[in-house]
């Protein structure tokens, strides 16, 4: 488990946001922490966004032991 200071948050990247250059467009202070895992969550594409002309990724809880594994950044 990672200790997160009150003024930081963990971000589980997906797709193009795994690229350092891409994540720094919207969050220049983001830094790689490590590979993370969220047990009992799965990646899903629920809400349509006109900006992307499609659904953006989110995580949703599940009773099954599905692991959403991605890079953590703050």
Would you state the CATH architecture of domain 11-73? Roll (3.10)
Q: Is 12 annotated as a binding residue?
A: yes
DSSP string computed for 1-52: -----TT---EE--GGGGSHHHHHHH-TT--EEEEEEEETEEEEEEEEETTT
* Per-residue confidence (pLDDT) for residue 15, from 0 to 100: 80
Q: Is 56 annotated as a binding residue?
A: no
First to last CA, the chain: 14
* Per-residue confidence (pLDDT) for residue 35, from 0 to 100: 80
* Per-residue confidence (pLDDT) for residue 70, from 0 to 100: 53
Which mean pLDDT values do the consecutive 10-residue runs of the chain (74 residues) have? 84 82 90 82 87 86 70 49
* Per-residue confidence (pLDDT) for residue 25, from 0 to 100: 92
Q: Is 16 annotated as a binding residue?
A: yes
Q: Is 14 annotated as a binding residue?
A: yes
* Per-residue confidence (pLDDT) for residue 28, from 0 to 100: 92
């Amino acid at each position: 488990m990672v200790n997160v200071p009150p003024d930081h948050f963990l971000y589980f990247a997906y797709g193009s946001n795994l690229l350092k250059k891409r994540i720094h467009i919207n969050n220049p202070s983001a830094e790689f922490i490590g590979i993370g895992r969220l047990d009992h969550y799965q990646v899903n594409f629920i809400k349509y966004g006109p900006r992307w002309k499609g659904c953006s990724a989110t995580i949703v809880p599940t009773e099954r032991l599905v692991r959403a594994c991605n890079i953590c950044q703050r």
